[in-house]
Structure 1
C-alpha cells in the first residue's frame, strides 16, 4: 500500500500535440482528463458503472497538484489508488508520471459516490470496490 492507498490500476496515455496550450505545456484540464480516463478504464475493467446500469459513479470532489510541466512528446503512466471507503463513497488518488523516466508530473484526488441513476440518490458502494479500498 502506498501513501495514497492500494494501487488498483495503471494506464498508459500519450500526450497529444493538441493537449498543449499557448504556454507550450499541457493545459491543466488535460491532467483531469487523464484522471477521468484512468478511473473509467479501471471501473470498466471491474464491470462496474457502465452506461445503462442502474447504478454508477459520480464525482463529488476532485483536485490536482501540478508538480512539473508536461510537454509534448510524452507518454504518461496514470496510476489509480483506492483510498478509504464509506457507505456510499470511495476516495481515489492518481499519480501522473513519465512512462520512461518516472518523473512525477501531478497528483490528483477524486471522491466517488455510488449513485442510483433512477432514484437520483446515493447508493451502497459495490462490494468489489469496498474490497479494494485501503483500511
Structure 2
C-alpha cells in the first residue's frame, strides 16, 4: 500500500535548553504531517475529514535518536495502521534515510461538532484511508 511523506522544517524555536528538538515540537511535527496527509482527501474543497469534524484520541511517541536544529527538513513518513468504522490510526517514522529519530502513532475519531458526538467514517473517508492501510511496524 501507499505511504505519505512530508518534509518538515526544523525551526530554531523547536530546540530545548539541551540543544535538541523538544518533545512538544514532535507533536507539532506530527500534526503538520497529518494535516498535509489528510488534506489530500478532498484537495479541491479542503479536507473533508477535518471539515466534517475529527478529534485526536491518542498519541504515542517513541524517541530513538536526538534530533538537532539544521537547515534541511526531516522526513516524516506515514501510513494507516488500523482502520475501524469510527477510528483511524496513523503511524509515523521521523527519519533521514536510514536514521530514525522517532516512531509514533495517532488515533483519530470522526466527530460531529454540531451534536458534540462521535460519528462513523463516511464512505469517502474510508476509501481514502484504505489506500494507505499497512500492517503496523512496531510504532504503536
Alignment of 1:21-100 (within 5 A): 21-47=16-42, 48-50=48-50, 53=51, 55-73=52-70, 74-98=72-96
The number of aligned residues is 125
The whole-number CA distance in structure 2 between the counterparts of 1:72 and 1:127 is 37
CA contact (8 A) 1:61 1:111 kept: yes
CA contact (8 A) 1:17 1:72 kept: yes
Normalised by the size of structure 2, how large is the TM-score?
0.81
Change in Cα spacing, 1:66 to 1:83, as seen in structure 2 (3 Å) is same
CA contact (8 A) 1:85 1:134 kept: no
Is the partner of 1:128 in helix, strand or coil?
helix
Normalised by the size of structure 1, how large is the TM-score?
0.83
RMSD of aligned Cα (Å): 1.7
Larger % of strand: which? 1
The whole-number CA distance in structure 1 between the counterparts of 2:67 and 2:31 is 17
Deviates more, 1:119-128 or 1:104-113: 119-128
The whole-number CA distance in structure 2 between the counterparts of 1:86 and 1:103 is 31
Q: CA deviation at 1:84?
A: 1.4
CA contact (8 A) 1:7 1:79 kept: no
Runs of at least 5 residues in structure 1 that lack an aligned partner in the other structure: 1-5
Deviation track 1:17-55 (CA, whole Å, cap 9, x = no partner) reads: 1111100100011111111111111111112224xx3x2
Runs of at least 5 residues in structure 2 that lack an aligned partner in the other structure: 43-47, 136-140
Change in Cα spacing, 1:81 to 1:61, as seen in structure 2 (3 Å) is same
The whole-number CA distance in structure 2 between the counterparts of 1:134 and 1:123 is 24
Q: CA deviation at 1:131?
A: 2.3
Is the partner of 2:16 in helix, strand or coil?
coil
